[in-house]
Amino acid sequence: MPQVTLNNGVQMPLLGFGVYKVAPEQAEQAVTDALAAGYRLIDTAAGYENEEGVGRAIAKSGIPRDELFITTKLWVQDHGQETAKPAFERSLDRLGLDYLDLYLIHQPFGDYYGAWRAMEELNREGRTRAIGVSNFYPDRLIDLITHNKIVPAVNQIETHAFFQRTDEQKLMVEYGIQHESWGPLAQGGEGFFDNPVLVDIARAHDKSVAQIALRWLIQRDIVVIPKSVRPERMAENIDVFDFQLTDEEMARIATLDTGRSPIFDHHDPKSVEWLSAARFNT
């Protein structure tokens, strides 16, 4: 599996497996199947409420810990300098791990400054090899960088052919932050799998639309974490390193950008109210 090097020298797989919206009772089997298919980056979150299933799959896999790259995330209700560390310990306990490879602030709301200071301490203590953020738009990302000591290693944001985030990626490159895509297949919305451009390019390579969409992101040096509970889809999604999109194909896909999210608007007041009020068993 190709790797990217984060701004602190840590190596991270370019493609991994995400478990967003994987039910807690399905998580163990899904991650077991993903590990069997060759995935070594597993991305979960306290807010997904499936860390325990992920942990059981890791424990039963027999794969050496240093061959895995495990990410989880801190939810808004636990933001704050005094509350972030206990939340981190609870995630570690559910996962059955001694350390994390990457710990992310899940949403840019609440006292995420206090949370970041606690995460900086966790990073210095070696409890998490890298720290980063998720869903941070440029203004909040730069504000966080300006007023803290450690620059986030990763910003995990919605990124796919319909919402391409090219200007934000340029900014992240400037600051040495790795761009990671959640929702790389747009969660199948807005006719993603029937899009004529993607279908045409898929036929030209004898690949699926999903494989084309993932390959396009990978060629932009973006880490991807597609999700599936079907082993055949897992195998398909990881099989994207035996072909290359041409510059012309990359440019055709670039024309699909709508400049907006078809999934979630972090600037909508109602969305912010929901995220800030949501409580999980973290």
Catalytic residue among 39, 48, 103, 112: 48
Which tokens hold the place of 70?
């495990």
137 is catalytic: no
Instruction: Check if the beta carbon of residue 105 is closer than 8 Å to that of residue 119.
Output: yes
Residue by residue, DSSP assigns the chain as: --EEE-TTS-EEESB-EE-TT--HHHHHHHHHHHHHHT--EEE--GGGT-HHHHHHHHHHH---GGG-EEEEEE-GGG-STTTHHHHHHHHHHHHT-S-BSEEEE-SS-SSHHHHHHHHHHHHHTTSBS-EEEES--HHHHHHHHHTSSSPPSEEEEE-BTTB--HHHHHHHHHHT-EEEEESTTGGG-TTGGG-HHHHHHHHHHT--HHHHHHHHHHTTT-EE----S-HHHHHHHH--SS----HHHHHHHHTT--SS-SS--TT-HHHHHHHHH-----
Active site residues: 48
